């Protein structure tokens, strides 16, 4: 796999933490060169230095909700490295709150980052890829792209949209030499909720150990080399998507039942059997 990515040029949004930072490190280790995008210039510069400096990494502060900034990122990537082989649309924000507890401003921000951000970056990178007659677009979605769950209504909606956009774009680009991947991680050990809107106790189902960002990045590199239309990483995620597709009532019942139990535990401050409430979620006893 390393030889397949040698000298490839990769743009990664949401690059300064979690899956984005792990993917950047993995791509550089595999011999690729990366353009790193996020809003924090300081954190981007630190990551670029860590990855080997200008020869390997280009740091471009970017707000993906602004089309002109996305175009600037693609343009500077072309100027530095000469091409764009892979785009990883990883920037995203979420929430753990009931829909009626979210403000209109918050709701709009989720849509702008999670949906328009993906489209803005795709608009910026796609003309370069089409001229090359090659490229891989990887849109990072979620298991929530298959089943909407309580407390994640807008986040789920945005990930459904990313999956639908990926499906349609894949058909439009058939024959152009450009692959489109909808990449759906499950529960990953990142600080995602530290940057999310959280109102109410947040549960962590704990049915399996969360994936490390390093392992998610390894799987992301594998799909960059051998693209697949849709990738659901975890066994739990595959079970959920299978149930949602073939037994939608059962999937909805399961999601609501767990939500009702966790909601009651939150309200009464009494833990679910076998669990303790902690600041950021549930933890097994």
Distance of alpha carbon 162 from alpha carbon 147, whole angstroms: 13
Q: List the structure tokens of 174.
A: 């058939």
SS3 80: helix
Would you list the domain boundaries of the chain?
A: 2-246
Give the class (CATH, top level) of 2-246.
alpha beta
Note whether 64 and 120 are within 8 A (CB). Answer: yes
Rg (CA), the chain: 19
Note whether 199 and 176 are within 8 A (CB). Answer: no
Give the angle 69-213-167 at the CA atoms, nearest 5°.
Answer: 60
Distance of alpha carbon 171 from alpha carbon 164, whole angstroms: 11
Calculate the CA dihedral of residues 231, 233, 237, 241 and round it to 10 degrees. 10
DSSP code for 202: P
SS3 47: helix
Q: List the structure tokens of 115.
A: 């949906």
pLDDT tens, N- to C-terminus, the chain (285 residues) = 556 999 999 999 999 989 999 999 999 999 999 999 999 999 999 999 999 999 999 999 999 999 999 999 999 999 999 999 999 999 999 887 889 999 999 999 999 999 999 999 999 999 999 999 999 999 999 887 888 888 889 999 999 999 999 999 999 999 999 999 999 987 655 566 555 556 565 554 444 466 788 999 999 999 999 999 999 986 666 666 766 676 677 667 766 666 665 555 444 443 333 333 333 333 332
At residue 94, the pLDDT reads 84
- CA–CA distances in Å: residue 136 to residues 14, 165, 184: 17, 15, 16
Active site residues: 155
Strands 275-278 and 135-140: unpaired
Residue whose pair of structure tokens reads 């407390």 in the numeric block: 151
Residue of 54, 18, 19 lying closest to 35 (CA atoms): 54
Query: What's the number of CA atoms in the CB half-sphere (13 Å) around residue 74?
Result: 22
Note whether 220 and 19 are within 8 A (CB). Answer: yes
159's CB contacts (< 8 A; 6+ apart) are 114, 141, 142, 144, 145
Give the count of beta carbons closer than 10 Å to the beta carbon of residue 167: 13
Q: List the structure tokens of 152.
A: 């994640």
Distance of alpha carbon 167 from alpha carbon 161, whole angstroms: 10
């Amino acid at each position: 796999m390393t030889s397949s990515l040698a000298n490839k040029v990769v743009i990664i949004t949401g690059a300064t933490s979690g899956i984005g930072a792990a993917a950047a490190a993995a791509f550089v280790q595999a011999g690729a060169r990366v353009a790193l995008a996020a809003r924090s210039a300081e954190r981007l510069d630190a990551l670029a230095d860590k990855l080997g400096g200008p020869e390997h990494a280009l740091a471009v502060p970017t707000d993906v909700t602004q089309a002109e900034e996305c175009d600037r990122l693609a343009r500077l990537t072309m100027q530095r490295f000469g091409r764009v082989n892979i785009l990883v649309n990883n920037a995203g924000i979420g929430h753990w709150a009931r829909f009626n507890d979210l403000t209109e401003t918050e709701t709009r921000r989720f849509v702008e980052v999670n949906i328009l951000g993906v489209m803005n970056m795709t608009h910026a990178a796609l003309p370069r890829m089409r001229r090359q007659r090659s490229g891989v677009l990887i849109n990072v979605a979620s298991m929530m792209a298959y089943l909407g769950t309580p407390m994640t209504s807008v986040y789920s909606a945005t990930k459904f949209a990313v999956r639908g956009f990926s499906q349609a774009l894949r058909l439009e680009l058939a024959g152009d030499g450009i692959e489109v991947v909808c990449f759906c991680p499950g529960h990953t050990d990142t600080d995602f909720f530290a940057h999310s809107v959280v109102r109410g106790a947040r549960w962590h189902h704990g049915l399996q150990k969360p994936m490390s960002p390093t392992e998610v990045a390894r799987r992301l590199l594998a799909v960059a080399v051998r693209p697949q239309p849709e990738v659901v990483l975890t066994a739990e995620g595959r079970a959920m998507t299978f149930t949602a597709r073939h037994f939608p009532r059962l999937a909805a019942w399961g999601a609501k039942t767990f939500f009702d139990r966790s909601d009651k535990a939150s309200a009464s401050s009494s833990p679910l059997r076998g669990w303790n409430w902690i600041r950021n979620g549930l933890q097994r006893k």
